[in-house]
Amino acid sequence: AYRANDCQTGDWMNVDGNLMRVKMFKNGNVHFEIHPDVAWKLNEVLAYSMPAAIPAPCRTAPKTRAPKEFGLIQKTISEPVRTALRNGRFSKDKGVWYFSDSNLQKSQVEELERTLNFIGGVQEKRHWQFPYEIGHTLNTIVATGLIPDTKSHQFYPTPRL
């Protein structure tokens, strides 16, 4: 999350499909906020294993809506695909990216290919080529678990006149 946020401190960043927010500070401290819709479910699980740890009012769904800062909870990219994206290697001499899919199941390989295609990647045999520097985009996807919005990261080729 820190890398994806251009190493900026003091700003909240939504992580993992808006399930939580993280704020990092220069002194190394990190603040986490859990989405209220998730927090009460976590409290319910904890109360099941340790009944005296959580008071009863904290084990029920909140009566009010979640703050707008969190946004809607969204479906995220699977953890194995995020790991494959994080472990991608860039070949400087060829200018291409390699993403290992040997540990992925067939559906996860398809998810990886869909994600890379969506951000402008073109697959050529075992490597991927991109029309722009994708380092920041990959860091954002790995940190948030979400594909960035279409307008800011989808590749639109310039028409030839």
Whether residue 12 is found in the same domain as residue 42:
yes
Within a domain: 160: no
The model's confidence at residue 6, banded by pLDDT at 50, 70 and 90, is: low
What SS3 state is found at 139? helix
Cβ atoms of residues 3 and 143 within 8 Å: yes
Pick from 50-59, 79-88, 138-147 the range whose average pLDDT is largest: 79-88
Query: Among residues 28, 45, 74, which one ends one of the domains?
Result: 74
| Predicted TM-score of the model (pTM) | 0.56
Residue 141 belongs to some domain of the structure: yes
| 16 and 64, same domain (yes or no) | yes
- Is residue 7 predicted with pLDDT exceeding 70? no
Can you tell me the distance from the alpha carbon of 107 to that of 141, in angstroms, rounded to the nearest whole number? 18
| pLDDT higher than threshold 70 for residue 95 | yes
Do 30 and 67 belong to one domain? yes
Which range is least confidently modeled, 27-31, 69-73, 75-79, 152-156? 152-156
Residue 128: the pLDDT is 92
Beta carbons of 109 and 101 less than 8 angstroms apart: yes
CA distance 150 to 20: 23
Contacts of residue 122, Cβ cutoff 8 Å, sequence gap at least 6: 128, 129, 130
The parent domain of residue 48 ranges over: 1-74
Residue 83 shares a structural domain with residue 66: no
> Mean pLDDT for the chain?
80
The residue out of 30, 48, 74 marking a domain boundary is 74
Query: Nearest CA to 4 among 155, 152, 145, 156?
Result: 145
Residue-wise pLDDT tens digits, 112-157: 998 898 888 899 988 999 888 888 888 888 887 887 665 554 555 5
Assess if residue 161 is contained within a domain.
Answer: no
Q: Which of the listed residues 39, 55, 74 is the one where a domain comes to its end?
A: 74
Asked if residue 19 has pLDDT above 60, the reply is: yes
Whether residue 2 is found in the same domain as residue 70: yes
Q: Is 109 found in the same domain as 91?
A: yes
| Residue 128 within a domain | yes
- Rounded to whole angstroms, the Cα distance separating 161 from 156 reads 15
Same domain, 92 and 147: yes
Q: Among residues of the chain, what percentage have pLDDT more than 90?
A: 17
**Measured at the alpha carbon of residue 104, what is the angle toward residues 98 and 110, in degrees to the nearest 5?**
80
Domain count, the chain: 2
- Which residues are within 8 A (CB) of 126 and not within 5 positions of it... i.e. 6 or more apart? 98
Does any domain span residue 83?
Answer: yes
